[in-house]
Amino acid sequence: MTNRKEVSAESYIHANRNKSSLSSQSSLEATSPHGIDEAQLLNKVDRHVLPILFLVYIVAFLDRVNISNALTLGLPAEIGLEGDQTNIVLTTFFVPYILFEIPSNLLMERFSPHIWLSGCAVCFGLVMVAQGFVQSYSGLLATRFFLGLTEAGMFPGSFYLISFWYKQEEAQKRFTIYWSSTICAGAFGGLLASAIASMDGVLGLSSWRWIFLLEGLATVLVGLLAFFCITDFPREAKWLSKKEREFIMRKTGTNETHAVSVTTKDVLLFFTHLKNWLGAVMYFCVLVPVYCMVYLLPTIIHSLGYPTLQTQLRSVPPFAAAFGFAILAAYMSDRLQIRFPFIALGLSLLTAGLSILISVHGAAHSSAVYAALCLVAMGSIGIGGNLVCWYVMNLRGHVERSIGSAWMICFGNISGIVAPFLFLQKDAPSYRVGFSVCLFMGALSAISCAGYGLITLQAMRDVPKNKITGESHEKSLYL
């Protein structure tokens, strides 16, 4: 009888061990489909894709906006800028930048990302070095034009590339990390400018010239590094095994080669869809206050009565607030698998901040004005990455994404031409006209977002299956 009990007990233990073993094996298979450790592969992709693009765009954005710091360090007086010439200089950058963005994405397809993006970085670094030696208004116009031409491919090209490496529920955090390079550059630019300000007179050069020279040389070095570090599209990535490449293309639904040609018919067909116009308008409207913050924040803070060094240092916290909001919104957006509510929250903060700035101004209310500037930064800079991710990740395939990513960035950057003329010296210190236009743009962005959201919702209801992946369309499109 005892032996039977022992045998029974042993059988029970053995059976439970088998169940436990089978349960563990089942769990392992669930977390590692097709023999791939998905979490480990995702970390591997993050390491290869994001850091170098983040670094390249930090130096690119610094090169674009460091002129805002230079303007407070004696540049206008030294080369004789008068009246609205400062605003014209800021605007000149965006003419080639806008016109060349779609062609740049098409050229990136032809030459491959690591060649095209690194080449652009080296070129705009050299232009920035040249800008450190300008002696006149015309010389500054020329360098700003060529800076816009060489930087045109970087931002849309990087978003285009990133979109092929991640599925929807992974994308927002990665898009925001990349977008945050602009926030970090804006914050770091102020700190860097305050440090370089002490170099005034070194080798007979003004401190504003040193800003252009040092940041330009750093960009050239980063561009050379980028040639070896920027990855190409998943199908061409040599650092992945064949099984890993197939898995990534299968999970993202992007199994076509980037060599697929984009025809004139494709471009014309793209512009027949209302969603593509709404996507561009909602981004454009948010970028107006973004560029006002990026280019004119030091000037606005300076009008509150702060000295030059304090102005540079106080330009950092609004960007830090925007960074914190952007990261939190991205995390929650991916976790809840929805975009619109977080964009709406950001637009609400933007509206609140601009309403305060229209009502209260001047050194007597410096604390309220400064707090409102932080709200504006959170509600504009803080949601830019959300808007780009929402629109670009809802596009499908190389053709639609190559046109769409460049189109959205291209149209949005028209705001860079508008923004500098909204804050004229004659309107200081209240800048009521500029803040009022920004408020209107915020409202128009909200309307465009609502329209785009309704179109997306209708598409999710109308098309139950994604033709590429076979997944339910709710996973392919995000509201």
- CATH code, domain carrying 268: 1.20.1250.20
Residue 11 within a domain: no
Tokens standing for 187?
Answer: 């914050």
If one compares 475 and 443, the residue with the highest pLDDT of the two is 443
Inside any domain, residue 16 = no
Q: Across the chain, what does the average pLDDT equal?
A: 83
Q: Do the domain assignments include residue 160?
A: yes
User: Does any domain span residue 308?
Assistant: yes
CA 2 remoteness from chain centre: 73
**Would 32 be classed as within a structural domain?**
no
In a domain, 94, yes or no: yes
Residue with tokens 């053995």: 14
User: Does a structural domain hold residue 1?
Assistant: no
Identify the CA nearest to 66 among candidates 192, 233, 205. Answer: 192
Selected residue with higher pLDDT from 405 and 273: 273
- The set of residues, in sequence order, having a beta carbon less than 8 Å from that of 181 and lying 6+ positions away, is 53, 54, 55, 57, 58, 61
Q: Helix (H, G, I), strand (E, B), or coil: what is residue 10?
A: helix
Tell me which amino acid residue 216 is: G
Write down the pLDDT at residue 189: 76
Range of the domain at 325: 38-476
Tally of helices (H runs) and strands (E runs) in the chain:
23, 0
Global pTM reads: 0.77
Give me the half-sphere count of Cα atoms (radius 13 Å) on the Cβ side of residue 232: 18
With pLDDT > 70 as the criterion, what percentage of the chain qualifies? 88
Domain annotation covers residue 324: yes
* Total tally of structural domains belonging to the chain: 1
Give the model confidence (pLDDT) of 377-396 as tens digits. Answer: 999 999 998 999 899 888 87
Q: What would the mean pLDDT of 152-175 be, rounded to a whole number?
A: 86
CA 157 vs. chain centroid, Å, equals 11
**Mean local confidence (pLDDT), 138-153:** 93
Query: CA–CA separation, 477 vs 475, rounded Å?
Result: 6
